[in-house]
C-alpha cells in the first residue's frame, strides 16, 4: 500500500502554485505603489535588477516557507500513528532536499543582482561580488543564507536516508537559523531603536514563515488522509494562533516605529501619502483577512475535520495561502523602500 | 520529558542565533540636511555641495554618486565625492546660467540598498562659469566604475549569464535531489 500513498500526496500542487504566483503579484503591486521617477543624471539600474531582485527575494522566501513547512510537518502530525504517517512522510522527503537547494540558489542570484544594482550598466565580475560581500552587510547575510540553506539540504538528504531519526526539531531549528540574517539587513530595523526593532523583525519573519509553511504542508499533504489531518490540524491551529499574534504585534511595532521616527514627515502623512505607508496598510489589511480566514477554518471547519468529515478546507486554505503570498511579496518591496 | 528537552534545545539554539547574529542593525539613510538647502535661492554658486544623512553612508569605491544638473541639462559636479560618516561632499565647477539646479544623489545606505533622492536650488544671478555644463559621455558612467570594478578581474559577465548559470546548476541539483528517495523506497 505504500506506493499508492506516495504518489497520491503529490496531487495538490495547485496550492503551492497559488502561493508562489500571489507572492509575485504582491511584488508587482508593491513595485507599482512605490515606483518613483528616475532622477535625471543618475545611473539607473536596468529592469532586470529593478524587478528581478524583488522577485528573486520573494522566491527565496517561498523556498524557505516550503522548507520550514516540511520540517514542521512531522511535529504537527505527531508520533502516535507512525504506520500511517511514515509512507506519507517518505514520499515528500525529497522535496525537503529540493526546496533548500532552491533557497540557496535564490540567495546566490540575489547576491549577484544586488552587486549589479550598485554598478548600473556594468557587467558583474566575481571580484565585484567579493567586494560587495566584503563591504556590505547585506552581502555577508546572503552568503550566510546560502551556506545555511545548503546545510538544510544536507539534513534533508540525511532525512531521506534515515527517516525520522533525524529529529524534525533540529531541521526546523537550522531552517529558522537560515531565516535570521536577511531581516536585520533590511529596512525596518531603525538605527535608533535597533535592538527592539531587530528582534521584532526576526520574530515577525520566523512566525510568518512557520505559519505559511505549516498551513501549506498540512493542507497540501494531509488533505487526502483524514485521520492524519484530524490530528494535525488542531496542532497547527494552535501554532497559527500564536503566529498570528506575533506577526500582528511585531508588524505593528515595526511599522509604527518606522513611520514615527522618519525625519521630516508626520506619521499620518507618511502612512497615507507615502509608498511605504501604503504598503504597511496593505499588509495590515492582509493580516486582518488572514485572521478572518483562520477563524473560519478554526471555528467552522475544524469540528468536522476532527470528526473525519469532508470539508471545503482546500478552498479556504487556497484563499488563505493567496493572501499570505501577497503579504510576502509586499514585504519584500517594503524592505527596499525608504519611508 | 524528551520532547520538552528537545523544545528547550531548539528555543535555546534559535535564541542564541538571534542574539549572536545581532550585528549593528542598519536601515535606509534619509537626507536630513544639505548645503545648499532644498528650495533656496542663492546669488553665488556653491563651491562644494554637502549632503547630510541620518546614518553613516558606506564609502566603498565608486558606489555613491552626486550629480548637479543645471537648467541647460548639463552636469556641473566636478571631481570625486568624499564621504565622512554621515556627510557626503562633492566639489562643484563654477556655475554658469541662472536658473534652477537639481542635485541628485545615489548613495549606498547603511543596509546595502542604494538610496536616491533629489533636491533643488535656484541660482538667481548668472555665475562666472561656462554657459553650458559638461555633457556626460554616454560611456562615461560605465567607463569609470568599470575600470575600478573589472580591473582586478579582467572583466565580468552580464547578470543574465550569472542567473542562467545558477539556474542550470539548480536544475542539476534538483534532478539529483528528486532522484534521491527513489532508490530507497522500502
pLDDT at A65: 97
**Interface residue of B149, B155, B165, B182 to substitute, partner A, most A CBs within 10 Å:** B149
Rounded to whole angstroms, how far apart are CA atoms B139 and A121? 10
pLDDT per residue as tens digits for the range B63-72: 788 888 888 8
Which of A41, A60, A327, A317 lies closest to B119, judged by CA? Answer: A41
What pLDDT is stored for residue A187 in this prediction? Answer: 53
Per-residue pLDDT band for B1 (boundaries 50, 70, 90) equals: low
Which residue would you say has higher pLDDT here, B185 or A135? A135
Segment B34-48 shows an average pLDDT of 85
pLDDT confidence of residue B152: 40
Length of chain A: 339
Subunit contact A94:B178, Cβ cutoff 8 A? yes
Q: Between B173 and A190, where is the model more confident? A: B173
| Residues near A188 by beta carbon (within 8 Å), at least 6 away in sequence | A197, A201, A254, A255, A257, A258, A334, A335, B27
Please state the pTM of the whole predicted model: 0.87
| Cβ-defined contact of B111 to A262 (cutoff 8 Å) | no
Distance CA B47, CA A84 (A): 78
Of A68, A62, A80, give the one whose Cα is nearest residue A171.
A68
Question: Which is more confidently placed, B54 or A165?
Answer: A165
Task: Tell me the CA distances in angstroms from B107 to A20, A28, A55, A259, B40, one per residue in order.
Answer: 33, 25, 23, 22, 23
Backbone angles phi, psi at B42, to 5 degrees: -140, 145
Cβ within 8 Å, pair B159-A198: no
Partner-chain residue, chosen from B14, B54, B75, that has the shortest CB–CB distance to A173: B14
Nearest to A89 by CA among A68, A73, A69: A73
Alpha carbons B11 and B124: distance in angstroms, whole number = 64
Q: Provide the pLDDT confidence category of residue B45 given band limits of 50, 70 and 90.
A: confident
Res A191: pLDDT = 57
**In chain B, which residue's Cα lies nearest the Cα of A337?**
B28
Axis crossing angle, helix A168-179 with helix A95-118, rounded to the nearest 10: 10
Pick from A287-296, B16-25, B130-139: least confident: B16-25
A127 vs B contacts (CB less than 8 Å): 149-150, 152-153, 156
What does the block give as the cell for B115? Answer: 538610496
Residue A88's closest chain B neighbor by CA? B185
For residue A323, the model assigns a pLDDT of 97
Q: How many CA atoms lie within 13 A of B153 on its CB side?
A: 16
Q: Number of Cβ pairs closer than 8 Å across A and B?
A: 223
Where on the phi/psi map is residue A264: left (φ > 0), alpha (ψ -120 to 50), or beta? left
The yes-or-no verdict on residue B146 having pLDDT over 60 is: no
**Distance between CA A113 and CA B81 in Å, rounded?**
25
* Distance from C-alpha of B21 to C-alpha of B15, rounded to nearest angstrom: 10
Q: Is the pLDDT of residue B24 over 50?
A: no
Q: What is the mean pLDDT of each run of 10 residues along chain A (339 residues)?
A: 44 85 96 86 83 96 97 92 89 92 96 88 85 86 96 95 91 95 68 77 95 95 90 95 96 88 78 87 95 95 91 92 97 86
Query: d(Cα A114, Cα A110) in Å, to the nearest integer?
Result: 6
Give the pLDDT of residue B21: 54
Residue B140's pLDDT band (cuts 50, 70, 90)? very low
The Cα of A112 is separated from the nearest Cα of chain B by a number of Å equal to: 7
Q: ipTM for the complex?
A: 0.81
pLDDT tens for B87-116 read 888 888 888 888 888 889 888 877 777 888
Residue-by-residue DSSP string for A185-252? TSSSS-STTHHHHHHHHHHHHHHHHHHHHHHHHHHHHHTT-HHHHHHHHHHHHHHHHHHHHHHHHHHH
Average pLDDT, chain B: 76
Amino acid at each position: 500500500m505504500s506506493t499508492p500513498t506516495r504518489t497520491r500526496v503529490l496531487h495538490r500542487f495547485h496550492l503551492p502554485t497559488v502561493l508562489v504566483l500571489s507572492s509575485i503579484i504582491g511584488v508587482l503591486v508593491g513595485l507599482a505603489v512605490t515606483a518613483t521617477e528616475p532622477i535625471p543624471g543618475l545611473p539607473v539600474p536596468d529592469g532586470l535588477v529593478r524587478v528581478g531582485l524583488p522577485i528573486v527575494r520573494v522566491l527565496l522566501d517561498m523556498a524557505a516557507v516550503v522548507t520550514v513547512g516540511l520540517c514542521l510537518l512531522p511535529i504537527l502530525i505527531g508520533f502516535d500513528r507512525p504506520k500511517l504517517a511514515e509512507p506519507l512522510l517518505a514520499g515528500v522527503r525529497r522535496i525537503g532536499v529540493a526546496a533548500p537547494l532552491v533557497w540557496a540558489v535564490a540567495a546566490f542570484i540575489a547576491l549577484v543582482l544586488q552587486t549589479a544594482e550598485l554598478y548600473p550598466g556594468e557587467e558583474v565580475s566575481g571580484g565585484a561580488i567579493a567586494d560587495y560581500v566584503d563591504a556590505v552587510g547585506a552581502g555577508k547575510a546572503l552568503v550566510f543564507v546560502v551556506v545555511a540553506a545548503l546545510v538544510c539540504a544536507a539534513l534533508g538528504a540525511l532525512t531521506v536516508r534515515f527517516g525520522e531519526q533525524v529529529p524534525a526539531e533540529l531541521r526546523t531549528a537550522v531552517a529558522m537559523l537560515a531565516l535570521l540574517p536577511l531581516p536585520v539587513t533590511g529596512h525596518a530595523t531603525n538605527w535608533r531603536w535597533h535592538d527592539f526593532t531587530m528582534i521584532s523583525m526576526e520574530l515577525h519573519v520566523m512566525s510568518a514563515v512557520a505559519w505559511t509553511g505549516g498551513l501549506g504542508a498540512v493542507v497540501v499533504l494531509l488533505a487526502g488522509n483524514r485521520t492524519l489531518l484530524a490530528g494535525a490540524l488542531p496542532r497547527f491551529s494552535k501554532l497559527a494562533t500564536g503566529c498570528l499574534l506575533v506577526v500582528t504585534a511585531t508588524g505593528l511595532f515595526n511599522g509604527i516605529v518606522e513611520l514615527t521616527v522618519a525625519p521630516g514627515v508626520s506619521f499620518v502623512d507618511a502612512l497615507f501619502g507615502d509608498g511605504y505607508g501604503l504598503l504597511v496598510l496593505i499588509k495590515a489589511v492582509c493580516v486582518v483577512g488572514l485572521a478572518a480566514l483562520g477563524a473560519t477554518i478554526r471555528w467552522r471547519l475544524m469540528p468536522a475535520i476532527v470528526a473525519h468529515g469532508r470539508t471545503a478546507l482546500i478552498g479556504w486554505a487556497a484563499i488563505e495561502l493567496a493572501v499570505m503570498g501577497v503579504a510576502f511579496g509586499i514585504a519584500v518591496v517594503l524592505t527596499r523602500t525608504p519611508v | 520529558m524528551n520532547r520538552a528537552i528537545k523544545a528547550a534545545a531548539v528555543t535555546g539554539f534559535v535564541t542564541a542565533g538571534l542574539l549572536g547574529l545581532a550585528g549593528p542593525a542598519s536601515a535606509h539613510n534619509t537626507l536630513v540636511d544639505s548645503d545648499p538647502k532644498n528650495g533656496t535661492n542663492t546669488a553665488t554658486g556653491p563651491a562644494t555641495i554637502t549632503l547630510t544623512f541620518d546614518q553613516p553612508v558606506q564609502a566603498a569605491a565608486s558606489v555613491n554618486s552626486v550629480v548637479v544638473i543645471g537648467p541647460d541639462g548639463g552636469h556641473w559636479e566636478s571631481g570625486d565625492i568624499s564621504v565622512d560618516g554621515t556627510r557626503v561632499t562633492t566639489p562643484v565647477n563654477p556655475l554658469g546660467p541662472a536658473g534652477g539646479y537639481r542635485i541628485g544623489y545615489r548613495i549606498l545606505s547603511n543596509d546595502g540598498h542604494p538610496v536616491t533622492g533629489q533636491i533643488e536650488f535656484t541660482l538667481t544671478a548668472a555665475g562666472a562659469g561656462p554657459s553650458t555644463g559638461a555633457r556626460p559621455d554616454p560611456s562615461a558612467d560605465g567607463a569609470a566604475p568599470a575600470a575600478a570594478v573589472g580591473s582586478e578581474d579582467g572583466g565580468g559577465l552580464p547578470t543574465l549569464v550569472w542567473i542562467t548559470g545558477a539556474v542550470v546548476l539548480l536544475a542539476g541539483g534538483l534532478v539529483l535531489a528528486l532522484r534521491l528517495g527513489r532508490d530507497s523506497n522500502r
